[in-house]
């Protein structure tokens, strides 16, 4: 007997399920695509325990006849394709005919559907075993319920993460789909709580605002360009609104979200010189191409696409974004703010300080005293330090003798050049100050002596519903880091305190920076690590920026504080804070040796 044999269909389906269904988020994505192909005006998504216990998707689309239900859950059965040539002009989201069959193989799947003018019916599939089609009264459209994900595949279920982690992935799938289809109304409910309620809109900016906050959406810049039959339209962020991560970078083609490193690299290049290293721009871009210019049938998950001429898209993105930034009437509004942009105001009287409770963090060698270099922002000078307006008689490159053997000069308003005994050291002022502030904050939290400043007038912050849920869940970590954040109604929170060490840094800006970091770190992080992420956000937002001119006293304070930090060679993100050029290396570059 030969060694080669045909696999049983149940094994084939489980192999396909392994490609299509990675986690509950995969189910959310597949069911949403099927619902959208039915031409609905509204889609309601309900999740329990991040989708592990339940994923329910309800649409008011065209529905299915009772006879179609068994075929809908059969492998490679679809209404989207007829002949092989259809693969070259795909106009729907779902077309492979694998999703429902794969989902039914690894869960308990129930479909209820009724077409307009027809009768309703229901079908249940449990671990690949199909039941009978049963008549049932229901609304026009389709409801798909998925329960006990991987319940019959213990090995796969063991690899699922905590419900909060699975929820994070599932809501990301929902957000991408809702962004791609603003003309359809969406709701998302998790564990009985309404997280998103998005009405159908005709303006993409409004859908972005509904997901990520109206204030952020209103600041976005419209971009539009074309190259022959290729059209680009989108909204991008101002450099001043940069992010710690790329979570606000979304690409779409023909209503389909996709990932593409090359296009995102083009966007990053367009911001070159406008963002600090490691910071990410806000990017929402839509592409329109002829169907035969893009292949969406690259991977079962359909997040990868292949373009016939990727370099053409790269050039289009880079040139359109860069030209927008260089427009003469937008130059001032686009460049990062500098200290002389904002009017100076006398600081308000400070309320009394209180000391936050201790919270254990990984130990680090940090100063026991509060160093002189405090936080600095564009709204005012460091407390007790001369402001740029008070030092007009000083040259822009302030020179100071720190010790007999060390001199420092600020260059280009972003680097400090320090003379050493056998060479020079070039310091990134933002990276160094960020490290100093982070170590100060961490030491204060570790030792239970974090000085917290109650705000006379609490600041309001409008968050997206998913961000509000995150802030609410991790309010304790925020408070341990000196940030008291409380719900204020709707998706608004109020910030009533912040650490003294962050100086005049905006509490609202800090919250947005911290939320951006928690989105990536929270699902798998321990409480202590969450507090560290909050402190990273505090330090990054409050540190002096590239472009800030420093007074003689500020240069002295920053270099003095550096000596009290054990690892002053890297910022909290791992970027180097300084580069050293030896005299020998300089002599070699100038061909002296």
CATH for the stretch 9-198 = 3.30.565.10
* Angstrom distance (rounded) from CA 442 to CA 173: 35
CATH for the stretch 206-334 = 3.30.230.10
- Name the burial class of residue 485, with classes exposed (0-12), middle (13-18) and buried (19+) by CB atoms within 10 angstroms of its CB: buried
Residue pair 239/222 in contact (Cβ under 8 Å)? The answer is: no
**Confidence at residue 464, expressed as pLDDT on a 0 to 100 scale:** 78
CATH for the stretch 356-385+399-580 = 3.30.1370.100
R_g of the chain computed on alpha carbons: 28
- Comma-separated ranges of CATH 3.30.565.10 domains in the chain: 9-198
Residue pair 209/216 in contact (Cβ under 8 Å)? The answer is: yes
**Confidence at residue 16, expressed as pLDDT on a 0 to 100 scale:** 58
**Confidence at residue 420, expressed as pLDDT on a 0 to 100 scale:** 86
Q: Which ranges of 389-526 would DSSP assign to H, the alpha helix?
A: 429-446, 465-473, 475-480, 507-521
- Comma-separated ranges of CATH 3.30.1370.100 domains in the chain: 356-385+399-580
* Beta strand pairing call for 294-295 and 306-307: antiparallel
406 membership: H or E segment, kind and range: strand 406-411
Instruction: Name the percent of the chain in helix, strand, coil, to the closest 5.
Output: 35, 25, 40
CB contact burial 486-519 (16+ within 10 A = b; e otherwise): eeeeebebbbbbbbbbbbbbbbbbbbbbbbbbbb
Three-class SS state of 440? helix
* Beta strand pairing call for 249-253 and 283-288: parallel
- For the chain, give the number of residues: 593
Among 553, 542, 487, 555, CA closest to 509: 542
Greatest C-alpha distance within the chain: 96
- Comma-separated ranges of CATH 3.30.230.10 domains in the chain: 206-334
* Angstrom distance (rounded) from CA 313 to CA 6: 44
Query: Dihedral sign, CA of 27, 191, 204, 472?
Result: negative
**Confidence at residue 401, expressed as pLDDT on a 0 to 100 scale:** 47
What is the edge-to-edge ordering of all strands in the sheet holding 492-499? 354-355, 451-462, 492-499, 484-489
**Confidence at residue 250, expressed as pLDDT on a 0 to 100 scale:** 96
Among 486, 449, 482, 450, CA closest to 468: 486
Q: Cα 35 to the chain's mean position, in Å?
A: 26
Q: How far is CA 489 from CA 218, 288, 407, 468, in A?
A: 21, 39, 54, 11
Among 474, 453, 481, 454, CA closest to 537: 481
* Angstrom distance (rounded) from CA 584 to CA 590: 10
* Angstrom distance (rounded) from CA 284 to CA 249: 6
* Angstrom distance (rounded) from CA 383 to CA 376: 8
Q: 589: Cβ–Cβ under 8 A, 6 or more apart, which residues?
A: none
Which pair of tokens denotes residue 539? 């330090």
Which residues of the chain have a pLDDT value below 70?
1, 7, 9-20, 76-97, 277, 296-303, 327-406, 520-527
């Amino acid at each position: 007997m030969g060694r080669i044999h045909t696999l049983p269909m149940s094994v084939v389906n489980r192999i396909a399920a392994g490609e299509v269904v990675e986690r509950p988020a995969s189910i959310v994505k597949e069911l949403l695509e099927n619902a959208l192909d039915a031409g609905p005006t509204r889609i309601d998504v309900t999740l329990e325990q991040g989708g592990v216990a339940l994923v329910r998707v309800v649409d008011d689309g065209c529905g299915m006849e009772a006879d179609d239900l068994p075929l809908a859950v059969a492998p490679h059965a679809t209404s989207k394709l007829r002949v092989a040539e259809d693969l070259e002009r795909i106009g729907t989201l779902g077309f492979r005919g694998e999703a429902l069959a794969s989902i039914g193989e690894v869960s308990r799947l129930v479909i209820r559907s009724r077409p307009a003018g027809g009768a309703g019916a229901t079908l249940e599939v449990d671990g690949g075993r199909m039941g009978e089609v049963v008549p049932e009264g229901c609304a026009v459209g389709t409801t798909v319920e998925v329960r006990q994900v991987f319940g019959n595949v213990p090995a796969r279920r063991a690899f699922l993460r905590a419900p909060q982690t699975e929820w994070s992935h599932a809501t990301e799938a929902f957000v991408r789909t809702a962004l791609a289809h603003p003309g359809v109304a969406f709701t998302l409910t998790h564990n009985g709580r309404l997280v998103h309620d998005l009405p159908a809109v005709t303006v993409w900016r409004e859908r972005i605002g509904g997901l990520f906050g109206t204030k952020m959406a209103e600041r976005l810049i419209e971009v539009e360009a074309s190259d022959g039959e290729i059209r680009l339209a989108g909204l991008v962020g101002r450099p001043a609104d940069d992010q710690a991560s790329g979570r606000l970078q979304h690409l779409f083609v023909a209503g389909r979200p996709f990932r593409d490193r090359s296009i995102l690299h083009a966007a990053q290049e367009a911001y070159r010189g406008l963002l600090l290293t490691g910071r990410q721009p806000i990017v929402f871009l839509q592409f329109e191409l002829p169907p035969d210019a893009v292949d969406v049938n690259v991977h079962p998950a359909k997040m990868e696409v292949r373009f016939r001429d990727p370099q053409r898209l790269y050039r289009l993105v880079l040139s359109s974004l860069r030209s927008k930034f260089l427009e003469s009437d937008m130059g001032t509004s686009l460049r990062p703010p500098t200290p002389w942009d904002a009017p100076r105001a006398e600081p308000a009287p400070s309320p009394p300080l209180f000391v936050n409770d201790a919270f254990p963090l990984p130990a680090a060698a940090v100063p026991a005293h509060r160093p002189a270099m405090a936080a600095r922002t564009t709204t005012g000078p460091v407390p007790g330090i001369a402001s740029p307006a008070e030092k007009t008689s000083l040259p822009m490159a302030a020179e100071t003798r720190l010790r007999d053997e060390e001199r420092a000069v600020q260059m280009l308003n972003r680097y400090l050049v320090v003379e050493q005994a056998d060479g020079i050291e070039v310091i990134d002022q933002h990276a160094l100050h960020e490290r100093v502030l982070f170590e100060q904050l961490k030491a204060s939290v570790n030792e239970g002596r974090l000085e917290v400043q109650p705000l006379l007038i609490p600041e309001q912050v409008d968050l997206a519903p998913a961000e509000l849920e995150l802030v609410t869940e991790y309010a304790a970590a925020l408070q341990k880091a000196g940030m008291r954040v409380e719900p204020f109604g709707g998706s608004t929170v109020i910030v009533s305190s912040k650490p003294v060490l962050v100086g005049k840094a905006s509490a609202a800006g800090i919250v947005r920076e911290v939320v951006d970091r928690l989105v990536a770190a929270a699902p798998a992080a321990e409480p202590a690590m969450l507090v560290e992420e909050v402190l990273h956000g505090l330090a990054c937002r409050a540190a002096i920026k590239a472009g800030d001119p420093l007074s003689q006293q500020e240069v002295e304070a920053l270099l003095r504080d550096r000596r009290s930090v054990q690892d002053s060679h890297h910022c909290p993100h791992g970027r180097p804070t300084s580069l050293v050029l030896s005299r020998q290396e300089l002599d070699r570059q100038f061909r002296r040796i």
